[in-house]
Amino acid sequence: MADVTIIGAGVAGLFAAHELARRGLRPRLIDRNGPPGQHGCSWWAGGMLAPHCEGVTAEPIITRLGAEAAAAWAPITPVIHRGTLVVALDRDRAELTRFARRSTDHQTCAPGDLEPDLSHHRAGLFFPSEAHLDPRRALADLVAALAAQGIAIERAEATPEAIPGPVIDARGLAATLPGLRGVRGEMAVLHAPEITLTRPVRLLHPRHPLYIVPRAGGLFMLGATQIESTSRAPVTARSALELLSAAYALDPRFAEASVVEMGADLRPAFADNIPRVVLRGRVLHLNGLFRHGYLMAPLLARQAADYLIDRSKGELLHED
């Protein structure tokens, strides 16, 4: 018999199940769509564990607590510790100065010293403590780790009201929490085997900032737009042009890349864009991950486990 039921098998729900099992509780995991896939926004993520870069626009708590993410993921899936490189076109050098002023734990660098294929960029910032992972492999590795303990994902419709006992609701926007909104994000995957990058690269731009995350087999994930919209329509022509134009500006050889995939989904976010655990009666909601899903899911899972095991309340828990 399960000690707690988790609804939602995205990155938050899966990591919560993993953390509870690691600490001796038996979770039951339910998702109306079954295992992770294109139906969930976790599928479309970049997988950057970049608390210092995110801290340029996020609240300080994201930088402080997100610094623990890489260590939390390492026992589950490969984590690549190559840091983050931030560059800007010569005409946008002021953006690099602003980014440096608003961030911490970085050093100035010549981009070509770190990534020879980017030697045509003259100035950059290097964040050596940051890391990244392949999000789809991370989801698969979580599913496999749970399966090895006899914990499967049940494909079923479920709501917290219909389930007795403790419940963790990790359904994202489907949870319809007060104050939760959708933020549309669009991404692309390109195949460019002639380009070699070994770490995530952020190209600063006053209107169309871009990050590129290298994946195996000459693939590169381009992301991501950030639009205040509840539309789940396919990627728009405008967004595709912005993503591809920014990639071309980073390295003109991306003009010859093959477009392997494009996708869009809605990221759940609260007004302050800080992920949190919301306690409503006997239900713990893990929600509002915004663009910090892989960075903050381990922290939300740990806090949910802390509360269920000894009723301890950390700074990310809110009672409603």
Domain boundaries, the chain: 4-46+134-179+271-319, 84-128+181-269
The whole-number pLDDT of residue 207 equals 82
The whole-number pLDDT of residue 176 equals 87
Residue 240 structure tokens: 């595709």
The whole-number pLDDT of residue 128 equals 98
Q: What's the burial of 206, exposed, middle or buried (CB within 10 Å: 0-12/13-18/19+)?
A: exposed
Q: What's the burial of 159, exposed, middle or buried (CB within 10 Å: 0-12/13-18/19+)?
A: middle
Low-confidence ranges of the chain (pLDDT < 50): none
Tell me the whole-structure pTM to 2 decimals.
0.96
Quick one: fold of 4-46+134-179+271-319? Answer: FAD/NAD(P)-binding domain (3.50.50)
CB 102 within 8 A of CB 56: yes
What CATH number has the domain spanning 84-128+181-269?
3.30.9.10
pLDDT tens-digit profile of 102-127?
999 999 999 999 999 999 999 999 99
pLDDT tens-digit profile of 133-142?
999 999 999 9
Report d(CA 208, CA 215) in Å as an integer: 22
Q: What's the burial of 271, exposed, middle or buried (CB within 10 Å: 0-12/13-18/19+)?
A: exposed
CA 292 to chain centre: 5
